[in-house]
Amino acid sequence: MGESWELSDVPGKETPIRGGIHDGKLLHQILEEHPRDLLGESKPDPRGRFPLLVKFLEAEDRLSVQVHPPDGPLSPNGVGKNEAWAFLETVPGSSVICGLKEDVDLDAFAKDCDGPGIETHLRKVEVQAGDLLPVPSGTVHAILPGVVLCEFQQTNDVTFRIYDWDREGLDGNPRETHREQALEVMAASQRPEISPSFACPHFSLEKFEISDSRTLNPAPRARAVAILGGRGTLAWEGASRGISTGTVFMLPAASKEVHLEAVEGPLTVLIGEAL
């Protein structure tokens, strides 16, 4: 699996700023020094961290079946993990696990969840490039081979692993699982569907395509922008830079308008606003 954290304020994994007057500083330093300019009306998470995390993942093998806790005492650090997946690349027949089947028996699931029998209870969702799939906290899920996706999530790295396909860790022993915690936090009735947008109490997402150009006007909250496809330019206050698939940039609440322009075809954009 390939995984790249593009925007993070997870303790110990803070993103360094590239370019501009704050070049080289960590995202958390900017939050501490200029909280109002960065966040505006957006709220930091309960630990005082920037509330959005953006990453890219490429799955060559099936990843573990897992679930994330909600905000509150069921999370070890009090912070939950809502997320959403935007698919950049898929292969014919690509699918992911997102939720349990409607007729699942929870006692049977609890009995089977730490072995291959778990597969009989898992709900698969077919996906293709361009899809956006919400994965709220409590949703049992797993990424399967053949997909490349961009993930927007709460700033948290807490995961309860249910089953890891009997893989061994680097020490030759089975990888650690968190069966009891997972069963406690999972929301068995959640079966998210592909949607053009996403919103949770912490952030909202909008995906759109630019065929020529578009201006992103100032907003009262912090935003993160990911380029999911195409090539183009980003221009702001007399400066500009090239952007392409995989580019991620942040728009602080104090930023002025910026302009996006597509080059040689449409530009696919996913923008997340911290609430």
The pTM (predicted TM-score) of the whole model is 0.94
Whether 103 and 213 map to the same domain: the answer is no
Residue 106: give its domain's CATH number.
2.60.120.10
pLDDT tens per residue, range 197-238: 999 999 999 999 999 999 999 999 999 999 999 999 999 988
pLDDT single digits (tens) 55-73: 999 998 999 999 999 999 9
Domain match, 175 and 231 both: no
- Which of 143, 174, 199 is the C-terminal boundary of a domain? 199
In sequence order, which residues have a C-beta less than 8 Å from that of residue 33 and are 6 or more positions away? Answer: none
Is residue 158 located within the same domain as residue 269?
no
Residues 217 and 172 in one domain: no
pLDDT of residue 22: 80
User: Which of 199, 215, 246 is at the close of a domain?
Assistant: 199
Domain shared by 177 and 230, yes or no: no
Same domain for 98 and 214, yes or no, is: no
Last residue of a domain, one of 169, 184, 199: 199
pLDDT average, residue stretch 149-175 = 88
What value does the mean pLDDT take over residues 85-93? 96
Domain count, the chain: 2
Q: Same structural domain for residues 162 and 217?
A: no
- Cα end-to-end span (Å), the chain: 31
pLDDT in tens, 30-47: 999 999 999 999 999 989
> What residue numbers bound the domain in which 50 lies?
2-199
- Cα gap 29→110, rounded to integer Å: 44
SS (H, E, C) the chain: CEEEEEECCCCCCCCECCCCCCCCCEHHHHHHHCHHHHHECCCCCCCCCCCEEEEEEEECCCCCEEECCCCCCCCCCCCCCCEEEEEEECCCCCEEEEEECCCCCHHHHHHHCCCHHHHHHEEEEECCCCCEEEECCCCCEECCCCEEEEEEEECCCCCEEEECCCCECCCCCECCCCHHHHHHHCCCCCCCCCCCEEECCCEEEEEEEECCEEEECCCCECEEEEEEEEEEEEEECCEEEEEECCCEEEECCCCCCEEEEEEEEEEEEEEEEEC
Q: What is the pLDDT of residue 1?
A: 62
Task: Please report, to the nearest 10 degrees, the dihedral formed by the alpha carbons of residues 157, 84, 256, 47 taken in order.
Answer: -30
